[in-house]
Amino acid sequence: MAAIRTILVATDLKKRSAAAPERAAALARALGARVVLAHAIPERNGTVAGFRLRRNATDKSKIEAAFAQIRQQYSDVAIDQVIASGSVEDVISRTAHDISADLVVLGLHKVRAVLDTLRLTSMERITLAVACPVLVAHTAGAQPYRRVLGAITFAPASAQAMATAGHLAPDAEFNAIHALQLPLKDKFPNSDAQESATMTQTMLLREAFMRMDGLPAQLNMPEIVPGGVHEVLQFRINELKPDLIVLGSASGRKTDSLGNYARDLMRAPPADLLIAKPC
């Protein structure tokens, strides 16, 4: 994992996004990185082009004033800005590419109960569009992360995710868990899941995973727990109360889609959430 030198913050400047620049500034101080604030102004369709331009100019003036306040609040951090017209995912993905962002920080999503069941949220579209990891930051105070929980698959992408978390939380305790989907024959009452071929193979994958480069030195031996991802991870979240949860974005082999668990967590994260991209 390369050093994190440029942090892009996508913000709609609403109260729900206030933790994003705060967390980015804290990380920038710790990592010696710069911050780039980005805001997308939705393009308005209208019959009078001049009217549309005046509205956009007004919007941009208000955004620049808000960005100036953020820069003043975090005056010890190098902060640049990008304000552009277009869809949120287009502006953020283009900016992330142009500035070679190493990390994108987002605030919380505005819940739209009906629409969210029919389409991807802006957060999800941004996560799929950018090439770097995405941090959903919503915990006020931006205290250093102390407890990290990784939902891992033992694939190289999981090692990359944990390595990224190691940069963001160098002094944290690291735990990881793998939810093992057992075949039907290993779920029968007279079967011993711990002695199954599936468990043996998974334990070998865990050994190989722990030898991968870049893993945090303080990573505890990952747990292998038979069961569904949602129930297994929710139990450990309740038990460990992590302040940073780490998982990959991909759904199985579909690297261009989000897994159901990733989508569920992004919409209602119980802690700050780091979504890592496949290698």
The token duo for 6 is 């440029």
Within a domain: residue 57? Answer: yes
**What is the C-alpha to C-alpha distance for residues 184 and 191, in angstroms, rounded to an integer?**
10
Enumerate residues 6+ apart whose C-beta is below 8 A from 99: 6, 8, 36, 82
115 and 137 in a single domain? The answer is yes
Whole-angstrom distance, CA of residue 157 vs CA of residue 100: 20
Q: Is residue 277 part of a domain?
A: no
Final residue of a structural domain among 143, 172, 198: 143
pLDDT at 109: 60
Same domain, 136 and 156: no
- What per-residue confidence (pLDDT) applies to 46? 47
- Which domain-ending residue is among 78, 109, 143? 143
pLDDT of residue 84: 92
- Whether residue 98 is contained in a domain is answered as yes
Q: What is the pLDDT of residue 264?
A: 75
Number of domains into which the chain is organized: 2
Q: Read out DSSP for 131-200?
A: SS-EEE---TT-PPP-EEEEE--SSHHHHHHHHHHHHH-TTSEEEEEEEE---GGGGSTT--GGGSHHHH
Q: Is 276 a domain residue? A: no
Please check whether residues 28 and 134 belong to one and the same domain.
yes
pLDDT tens digit at each of 279 positions of the chain? 678 999 999 998 888 888 999 999 999 999 999 999 999 988 765 444 444 444 455 578 889 999 999 999 999 999 999 999 888 899 999 999 999 999 999 988 665 443 444 456 788 889 888 999 999 998 888 899 999 999 998 888 889 889 999 999 999 999 999 988 775 555 545 555 566 788 899 999 999 999 999 999 999 999 999 888 888 888 899 999 999 999 876 544 555 556 667 777 777 788 999 988 765
Predicted local confidence at residue 191, as pLDDT: 59
Whether residues 166 and 68 fall in one domain? no
Of 39, 183, 226, 24, the residue nearest 122 (C-alpha): 39
| Pair (2, 139) in one structural domain | yes
Residue 243 lies in a domain: yes
Q: What is the dihedral of CA 261, 264, 266, 269, to 10 degrees?
A: -100
d(CA 276, CA 160): 7
For residue 48 the two structure tokens come to 């009078």
**Domain of residue 184, CATH code:** 3.40.50.620
Query: How many Å separate Cα 221 from the centre of its chain?
Result: 23
The single residue listed with the structure tokens 């308005």 is 44
Q: Please identify, among 111, 143, 175, the residue that sits at the C-terminal boundary of a domain.
A: 143
225 and 240 assigned to the same domain: yes
pLDDT in tens, 225-237: 988 888 888 889 9
Same domain as 6, residue 74: yes
Same domain, residue pair 139 and 1: yes
Q: Are residues 96 and 149 in the same domain?
A: no
In this predicted structure, what is the pLDDT of residue 194? 66
User: Can you tell me whether residue 207 is helix, strand or coil?
Assistant: helix
Domain that holds residue 221: 144-271
